Amino acid sequence: MWGWKSVERFIDNVPYETAKKYIVDEFQFFEKKVNESYSIFQRSGTQLTIHGKNFPLELAFAKKDHGIFLQLRYDFFMFFDTGDLSRFADEIIERLTAERTVQT
């Protein structure tokens, strides 16, 4: 992961496999590295944009006892962030938890 700025979140009570599938299907990430306890995803983007979620991103999931640890970073060096990364992480969590609610 190249970007110095990262956002970390914990997603409670979301099945790991469901979250992985949703990230690939809904947010156009692809799996870069898969392990039993964690997965790393990447999403291509452009370095010429005013919206942070359009930059190349790297997302890591790690299994926890009752949920998932999520880390989202820019996939290239960034000098600063205007809060877009945090808002996108919150959007991912919001949509994942909404998807979980629909499935139950």
Please check whether residue 28 lies inside any domain of the structure: yes
Which stretch of DSSP H or E encloses residue 18?
Answer: helix 16-27
Q: Please, which pLDDT band fits residue 34 given cuts at 50, 70 and 90?
A: confident
C-alpha–C-alpha distance, residues 63 and 87, integer Å = 22
Taking only the tens place, the pLDDT of each residue in 37-61 is 899 999 887 665 555 556 788 999 9
C-alpha–C-alpha distance, residues 75 and 97, integer Å = 25
User: What local confidence, expressed as pLDDT, does residue 78 receive?
Assistant: 67
Please check whether residue 103 lies inside any domain of the structure: no
Please check whether residue 26 lies inside any domain of the structure: yes
Domain count, the chain: 1
Please check whether residue 66 lies inside any domain of the structure: yes
C-alpha–C-alpha distance, residues 56 and 44, integer Å = 5
CATH (domain of 91): 2.20.25.670
- Domain range for 88: 6-98
Pairing of strands 38-43, 57-64: antiparallel
Please check whether residue 51 lies inside any domain of the structure: yes
Taking only the tens place, the pLDDT of each residue in 58-93 is 999 999 888 899 999 888 766 666 788 899 899 999
User: What local confidence, expressed as pLDDT, does residue 5 receive?
Assistant: 76
